[in-house]
Amino acid sequence: MLTIREARRQLAARLRAAGGDTPILDARLLVEAVAGAGGEDDALLGEQAAADLDGYVARRLAGEPVWRILGEREFWGLTFKLSPATLEPRPDTETLVEAAVHSLRERRGDALSVLDLGTGTGCLLIAILSEFRQARGLGIDLSGEACKVAAANALANGVGDRVAFREGDWVKDLEGRFDLIVSNPPYIPGDEIPGLDVAVRAYDPLLALDGGIDGLVPYRLFARELTPFLAPGGIVIFEIGAGQEPDVSALMRAEGFRYHGARKDLGGHERALIFSR
């Protein structure tokens, strides 16, 4: 039997040899998952834990992301369960939460209404509701399974009584007006998807990736159709892909939206675009 320390060290070496980008982190997370967080380094890894770890390692070496293996990921300091129907939350998307908090900083105590289009795990909406304690939200997703996952995540993160999730096709049959509309829509051009890293193309749902021939299909719909759903003084915040800022901002301005600029992610890329009427 190996100790927890030895198991972690050997696993990191295997992952490094296989070309993993973050072998030490992955090894720590996977060993903690089977041994329990806070386990003593000199404690022995039990037979069942070792067997479970072997299964996790096989999946990781096949390209499955470590967070998919663990079934959950942290976002904005909160924990979100994943499913095959949901996009895995990424740190870059936290830029949208930062943009919302900054843009609506004078209204932190107001009873805002928030709409999240393409909600997935619900990470964006739930993180925003955790910051705006009087706000209420609605998340819409084409996947009924994603809506179920998001609802469970809302309950687990203490905002279940202030949010609803609904299966739907963007704003079709939607009613009401919202102070904040956010979306991380699919924005990857369809013909680029086969060239994505296996961790994305094989494990994130295609529905959450494919933005059509040029990656801009959802933004064209938003530009045409969001106006009736935006309350006076309300704002819209989108996530975009690399290099899409000129096209998305032009689409929105052409339909009468005012562009308030972009917020950059940690990598220095324009990630969150902010608009109002």
Domain boundaries, given as residue ranges, for the chain:
4-70, 76-276
Of 27, 21, 36, nearest to 57 by C-alpha is: 27
Give residue for tokens 């809302």: 154
The pLDDT, as a whole number, for residue 36 is 85
Torsion of CA 44, 48, 54, 60, to 10 degrees: -100
The pLDDT, as a whole number, for residue 222 is 98
Does this chain's domain 4-70 share its CATH topology with 76-276? no
Domain spanning 76-276, CATH class:
alpha beta
Regions of the chain with pLDDT less than 70:
none
Q: For residues 130 and 157, is the Cβ–Cβ distance under 8 A?
A: yes
According to DSSP, the residues that pair with 116 across neighbouring strands are 139, 182
Kind of pairing between the strands at 230-239 and 270-276: antiparallel
How many C-alpha atoms does 258 have within 13 Å on its Cβ side? Answer: 7
The pLDDT, as a whole number, for residue 1 is 81
Give Dmax over CA atoms of the chain in angstroms. Answer: 66
Q: For residues 117 and 174, is the Cβ–Cβ distance under 8 A?
A: no
Please give the CATH architecture assigned to the domain spanning 4-70: Orthogonal Bundle (1.10)
The pLDDT, as a whole number, for residue 262 is 97
Q: For residues 188 and 67, is the Cβ–Cβ distance under 8 A?
A: no
Q: Name the burial class of residue 258, with classes exposed (0-12), middle (13-18) and buried (19+) by CB atoms within 10 angstroms of its CB.
A: exposed
Nearest-5° angle of CA 58, CA 59, CA 64? 145
The pLDDT, as a whole number, for residue 216 is 98
